[in-house]
Structure 1
């Protein structure tokens, strides 16, 4: 496709916190999306009925705040961008769903679709489910299902402390942990259940003092970004021999922050990690590192590449950028290859896929070919859970356009 005759791009709006306390998480998202988009464009772009179109990413800084996100949503809409992506806050995702529902009802000629890669509050695909929203990450209930299956098998765990960010997602994680641990390991004592302000705590030492005083041997947390990094740094500095069962313990500086103290003690849950193994997985990881060779950028998220690939395939099936046609092409879409086994469940637009619980180990040990961020520490699979073990039922009652 020559530049002189190139078709207009299909624009994707990224609304994310690119500045502020979670700016590093926003930058990580942008890297992953640009990597995925470049792969689609390198193979010829998206072929619609009128020819091939490149994908183009436009970034809107929401500062990870609800009001700023809504302002940026309007800005994207005013530019005629039909596809919106966001994920690093369930509170923001909830507000975007509501705003897009209202916009699409009010302006049927300028509808938008919302592709969510990381906001995992289960409410988003249950009580708040929307035809205009697709969730490409396992929700918090599915992630907790996986983590508690691993905890169930860890007989050394006796006392658990729940520590989470104080917003809707953190409270969901806390409630789910209580519910599932009670069902699966009634012998475990929950000795603390605490919330901390999101993005505002500079020193987690007082929280860890409470964890120590409670006699906990394990912390279960959904905290992410700098909050998680600072938490594990403080644990290392205090020399606490805790296990951390986390949603994001393999991310954004956490392994390097914890160092040797994390070996065998930090667990994370995800749809993939670099040491899953196999030629296809290794090749994906190496291609990401070739694109972003700096150690600080070493955090590929397979689900973002899967999301962009599925969007491109749905656009090609639709043959148009009409959002209703594209949404219907995404529903029930399945991807099965050497790396991915994913299904977009049609009744609630929730991605269903296997999950891995992995444990931090030294690079070079069996099952740890790759480390994280040049830290010398990586993650090894501790448990793999097939789709049917994590595909929890949905209460979604979706309203569909005629």
Structure 2
């Protein structure tokens, strides 16, 4: 795999990186630590293409600092231990910007390791840019000055999702099915809390946690869901754990609704086919039919890679880094971190803000539903003839949730 091969030589590629004042043509080398192999490898591979694509778009004249971005992926096999080894290799090779997203268990390990490294190695600090890990603890009880999240956390997504569900009178019995790690546990926790507050009449008729990226047959879970009488399933599953769940639901004849985070991610559109029309929903910070510049980028990406781009946080990272480096007049992570706090940039769907209190990006969220592509909503992921049709937008001030973060800033 061409992205995985680069990881072997990461030390050589990043050797000699030095920190200097941001100036036109300076190279900012970054490392993304995420799965490139295994059941969830296809997601990481697709995202690696996204980083390659947008590093080119946002380099040089594409950012106000005039720097050039280069991103090298390392396969962590979705393992926290492998991720910590990859972090050490990246830092030893000179990397000062670390990106990760798939797996909150990995994110929590990396956040802690980066904080400890920076405390022990003044002058050699690194920043951790989180593009997808949504465990609320990362910007609450375990918040860390060196961690910045560009996705919306689970409290934000469930707040918007439950607001939408509260208006769906046909939703009466809900089953919670999630992956058995920090992210899945949090989805279930906040779903129960918010539904109890907004729709106390809704019954939670079942709840299951299953092993992450290990289950190949979800038929037994679908049988339990059907037996419970649930008309709706809420799941934070992603990658193969969602596509195989949807496949089992289709084959098992379950016709209830699914409320998801990641219906548009690699493999799931194909699994959905036409069977999920009108009953599979996604809450996310972007979708396939944003229009404008985003539509142009998506079309160009698909033509170049024969793949679909869906991780919009990639764009956010380059937008805010370029702006912060220009503001700081430096690529030094210490100065850039200070510039990132509270920064506001115009993005693909309006202004977004990196909240200073907890380093959680404040951004709109969208509820979409799986349905036929049309002239109005034309983008068809995985060439299914289907798409995610936007139903409702939740602006920054609506999707925002409180934080308990007590940020410890370096002196």
Match of 2:150 in 1: 136
**Equivalent residue runs for 1:360-371 within 5 Å:** 360-364=370-374, 367-371=376-380
- For the residue of structure 2 that corresponds to 1:161, the secondary structure is strand
Q: How does 1:11-50 map to 2 (within 5 A)?
A: 11-41=29-59, 43=61, 47=65
1:109-148 pair list within 5 angstroms: 109-148=123-162
- Aligned-residue offset at 1:294: 6.8
Matches within 5 A, 1:154-193: 154-193=168-207
1:93 aligns with 2:103: no
Q: Give the SS at the match of 2:384.
A: coil
Corresponding residue of 1:9: 27
Q: 1:295 to 1:154 in 2, by over 3 A?
A: farther
The one of 217, 223, 235 aligned to 1:221: 235
CA distance in 2, matches of 1:247, 1:107: 37
Asked if residue 400 in structure 1 is aligned to residue 409 in structure 2, the reply is yes
* C-alpha contact (below 8 Å) 1:255/1:262 kept by paired residues: no
Which whole-Å CA distance do the structure 2 matches of 1:295 and 1:29 have between them? 11
- Within the candidate set 353, 365, 370, 2:363 is matched to 353
CA contact (8 A) 2:302 2:309 kept: no
Report Cα offsets for 1:92-129 as digits up to 9, x if no partner.
Answer: 01001110111101111211100000000000000011
Q: Give runs of ≥4 in structure 1 deviating > 3 Å.
A: 44-47
Matched residue SS, 1:110: coil
C-alpha separation between the residues in 2 aligned to 1:199 and 1:41? 35
Structure 1 partner of 2:319: 309
Bigger mean CA deviation after superposition, 215-224 or 289-298: 289-298
1:384 and 2:384 are equivalent in the alignment? no
Unaligned runs of at least 5 residues, structure 1: 1-5
Aligned Cα RMSD in Å?
A: 1.8
Counterparts of 2:345 and 2:62, CA distance in 1: 20
Indicate the residue corresponding to 1:206 in structure 2: 220
Q: What is the CA–CA distance in structure 1 between the aligned matches of 2:331 and 2:136, rounded to whole Å?
A: 28
When structure 1 is superposed on structure 2, of 289-298 and 242-251 the one drifting more is: 289-298
User: Deviation of residue 324 (structure 1)?
Assistant: 1.4
What is the Cα deviation at residue 316 of structure 1?
1.7
CA distance in 2, matches of 1:338, 1:352: 14
Counterpart contact for 1:208–1:234, Cα < 8 Å: yes
CA displacement at 1:303 relative to structure 2: 2.1
Secondary structure (helix, strand or coil) at the match of 1:244 reads strand
**1:337 shift after superposition:** 5.4
Cα drift, residue 10 of structure 1: 1.1
Match of 2:301 in 1: 291
- Structure 1, residues 361-401: CA drift from partner, whole Å, max 9, x if none? 11117x42222221011011121111111111100001001
1:150 aligns with 2:198: no
Give the alignment's TM-score, normalised by structure 1.
0.93
Structure 2 CA distance for aligned equivalents of residues 44 and 232 of structure 1: 39
Q: Would the alpha carbon gap of residues 103 and 291 (structure 1) be closer, same or farther in structure 2, given more than 3 Å must change?
A: same
- The count of aligned residue pairs is 389
Q: Normalising to structure 2: TM-score of the pair?
A: 0.91
The separation in 2 between residues aligned to 1:40 and 1:191, in whole angstroms, is: 48
| Structure 2 residue runs without a partner (length 5+) | 1-23
Q: Is the contact made by 1:274 and 1:282 (CA closer than 8 Å) also made in structure 2?
A: no
Q: Quote the offset at 1:291 in angstroms.
A: 3.0
The alpha-carbon deviation at position 55 of structure 1 amounts to 1.1
Aligned to 2:11: none
Q: Does 1:65 align with 2:74?
A: no
Q: Partners of 2:150 and 2:364 in 1: how far apart? A: 12
Q: What per-residue deviation string (whole Å, max 9, x for no partner) do you get for residues 39-93 of structure 1?
A: 112526663xxxx541111211111100000000000100111100000010001
1:243-262 aligned within 5 A = 243-262=257-276
Give the match for residue 3 of structure 2.
Answer: none
- Give 1:140 shift: 0.5
8 Å contact from structure 2 (residues 195, 202) kept in 1: yes
